Structure 1
Amino acid sequence: MDANRVKQILSSSAEIGVEYNGVSVWIDKLNEDGRTATVHPRDLEERSTVEIRELKEM
């Protein structure tokens, strides 16, 4: 995924499925570096910083 798509997903009112390493996640924010995002699994509050290139739209 690229930074522009992450921004589109964040601004969308639709629920767009995203996976990180096979786990369904919510994107919380695109980080200032433009290469990473803060995400959390849909069923947990634990947040992680991940490379956006490793996110996959479902």
Structure 2
Amino acid sequence: MDVRRVKQILSSSADIEVKYNGASVWIDKLNEDGRTATVHLRGPLEERSEVEIAELKEL
């Protein structure tokens, strides 16, 4: 995924499915470095992780 698409997803009110390493995640924010984003797993666990946006996949 690229920075432009991450920004579009963040500003969208739609439920856009994104996967990271096969797990469905929510993108919380694009980090200042422009290469990573903070995400958390969909579901009851709210554990947040910083991941490379290149590794995010939109379904």
Query: What TM-score, normalized by structure 1, do the two folds share?
Result: 0.98
Q: RMSD of the alignment, in Å?
A: 0.4
Which deviations, in whole Å up to 9, do the C-alpha atoms of 1:1-23 show, x marking residues without a partner?
Answer: 00000000000010000000000
Q: Which runs of 5+ in 2 are unaligned?
A: none
Which deviations, in whole Å up to 9, do the C-alpha atoms of 1:1-58 show, x marking residues without a partner?
Answer: 0000000000001000000000000000000000000000001100000000000001
The answer on 1:16 being equivalent to 2:19 is no
Query: What TM-score, normalized by structure 2, do the two folds share?
Result: 0.97
4+ residue segments displaced more than 3 Å = none
Q: Which runs of 5+ in 1 are unaligned?
A: none
Number of positions where the alignment pairs a residue of Structure 1 with one of Structure 2: 58
